A and B are shown apart, each in its own frame.
Chain A
Amino acid sequence: MSTQTISKASTWGGGNSPFNVSYGKLMMWVFLLSDAFTFSSLLIGYGALRYSYPSTELAQIESLELGFAQNVQEQFAAPGVDAHHGEHFIPALRDLGIFNEFQWPSPDLVFNHFPFAHGLHLPLIFVSLMTLILILSSVTMVLGVEAGQRGDQKAVSKWMLLTIIGGFMFLGCQAWEWTNFINAGARMWANPYGPPAFAALFFGVTGFHGFHVFSGVVLNIIVYINNLKGTYANRGHYEMVEKVGLYWHFVDLVWVFVFTFFYLI
Chain B
Amino acid sequence: MSSQTNQKVDIHDEVNYDPTVWVPKAHSHGTSDIWKKFWILSFLTVADVVAYFIWPPSISRNIFFILMGIIKAWFIVGTFMHMKHEHKKLGYMIILPMAFVIFFLYWMMYEGNFWGTF
- Name A135's closest neighbour in chain B (CB-CB): B41
Query: What sequence of 0s and 1s flags, for each residue 91-114 of chain B, a beta carbon within 8 Å of any chain A beta carbon?
Result: 001100110010011101111110
Task: Report how many residues on chain A are interfacial, defined by Cβ distance under 8 Å.
Answer: 73
List, in ascending order, chain B residues with CB within 8 A of A136's CB.
38
> Contacting chain B: which of A206-214, A215-223, A249-257?
A249-257
In the complex, what distance in Å separates the CA atom of A232 from the CA atom of B19?
13
How many contacting A-B pairs (Cβ < 8 A)? 193
Q: Which DSSP category, helix, strand, loop or mixed, fits chain A's interface?
A: helix
B54 interface residue (CB < 8 Å to A): no
Task: Report how many residues on chain B are interfacial, defined by Cβ distance under 8 Å.
Answer: 70
Partner of B46, one of A26, A128, A145, A149: A128
List, in ascending order, chain B residues with CB within 8 A of A128's CB.
45-46, 49
A63 interface residue (CB < 8 Å to B): no
A117 interface residue (CB < 8 Å to B): no
**Contacts A22-B14, A58-B56, A150-B28 hold; do A50 and B79 have CB atoms under 8 A apart?**
no
A residues engaging B (CB < 8 A)?
Answer: 1-2, 4, 6-7, 9-10, 13-24, 26, 29, 32-33, 36-37, 40, 43-45, 47-53, 55, 58, 108, 123-124, 128, 131-132, 135-136, 138-139, 141-143, 145-146, 149-150, 235-237, 239-240, 242, 245-246, 249-250, 252-253, 256-257, 259-260, 264-265
Q: List 6 A-B contacts (CB under 8 A).
A: A19-B86, A29-B94, A58-B57, A128-B49, A145-B82, A253-B76
